[in-house]
Amino acid sequence: MLSGVEKALLAVLVLVLMTGMGATLEVRHFREVMHKPKGVLVGLASQFGWMPLLAFGFAKALGLPSDLAIGLVIVGCTPGGTTSNLFTYYARADLALSISMTAMSTLVAVVAMPLLLLLYATPFSQSADSDLVVPYGSIVKTLVVVLLPVAIGMTVRAKKPPVATKLETIGSVAGVATLILLVGSSLLRNGHLLAQTSLAMFTAAIGLGALGLGLGYLASRALRMPKAQCRAVSFETGIQNSPLAFAIIIASFPSATHSRLLWLPLLYALFVLITASVVTTIYSSRDRRTSREA
């Protein structure tokens, strides 16, 4: 799917993206979690509870082929990323909570993601139509390597805040460039797959993000969390770290399987941005209406 040069470029972009994400984090975010853990715990339970289960449920209910199912499950098992922080900001939600959840979910993912993949991806890799072997060891190594830049970004934030601010911007640009590179390469080399994208595939890709956003909100609302925190949990649950999912697939699986494994993660990444934008617009409209009534 990708040439050697494109893979090298993708690796650089992902590392820059993760460094930029680390540059948004401070030690105080972890201290805040210790003092007020409820919001982050609800977010982690939603993110690593709902999302993998939803991905597995969609794959089973819609009868997706094993390689597409595994790609979807990988997305469902990833932690949150900086995109959720961005939407949290625009929706006037609890940005501090969102950043804290991103920090904690990124750390928890090193242990949780391989275990969740073992639980939810194994049934598909062992199915009759599959010859895929999920390389759990390689996935753990990839996670560790990719998360090292997060520590570097945090160090820069602690010692040189002005530089960290620039890294945040560069990291955001790298995230967009990662999506453009993969989508552009996919369309150029595998445009025929778009015509082969079934209604079930669209349903799984769109439904994973949409239901994740909804269930994250409902779970936190049921626990009587403030509105701003409910919105933050919603975005952190529904918007997964897609570039990390791309990196794991490309670094851990054979190149011959990349085009199929990446197809649903790419669709998810595109449609979750649209869904989150619609949700943000709804939130903003409600806030304006409430302000007028007040």
pLDDT at 144: 80
pLDDT at 84: 85
Instruction: List domains and CATH numbers for the chain.
Output: 4-287 (1.20.1530.20)
Question: pLDDT for 186-231, tens place per residue?
Answer: 566 656 666 778 899 999 999 999 999 999 999 999 988 989 899 9
Q: What is the DSSP string of 103-165?
A: HHHHHHHHHHHHHHHHHHTHHHHTSTT------HHHHHHHHHHHHHHHHHHHHHHHH-HHHHH
Cβ atoms of 268 and 75 closer than 8 Å: yes
pLDDT at 52: 95
pLDDT at 61: 95
Count how many residues are written for the chain.
294
The neighbouring-strand residues paired with 100 are none
Instruction: Find the largest Cα–Cα distance for the chain.
Output: 61
pLDDT at 253: 86
pLDDT at 33: 61
Closest alpha carbon to 243 in 286, 292, 180: 180
Cβ atoms of 47 and 185 closer than 8 Å: no
The backbone region for 240, taken as left when phi is positive above 0, alpha when psi lies in -120 to 50, beta otherwise, is beta
pLDDT at 68: 93
Give the tokens for residue 186: 């996919």
pLDDT in tens, the chain (294 residues): 555 666 666 677 777 777 777 777 777 766 666 677 788 888 888 889 989 999 999 999 999 999 999 999 999 999 887 788 888 888 888 887 888 888 788 888 888 998 999 999 988 887 756 677 788 888 888 788 777 887 888 888 888 888 877 877 777 676 666 666 666 665 666 566 667 788 999 999 999 999 999 999 999 999 889 898 999 999 999 999 888 888 888 888 888 888 788 889 988 988 888 899 999 999 888 888 877 776
Residue 240 has φ and ψ, to the nearest 5°, of -85, 165
Torsion of CA 247, 111, 257, 8, to 10 degrees: 20
Measure the CA–CA gap between 75 and 245, rounded to whole angstroms.
Answer: 6
Residue 127 has φ and ψ, to the nearest 5°, of -75, 165
Residue 207 has φ and ψ, to the nearest 5°, of -65, -35
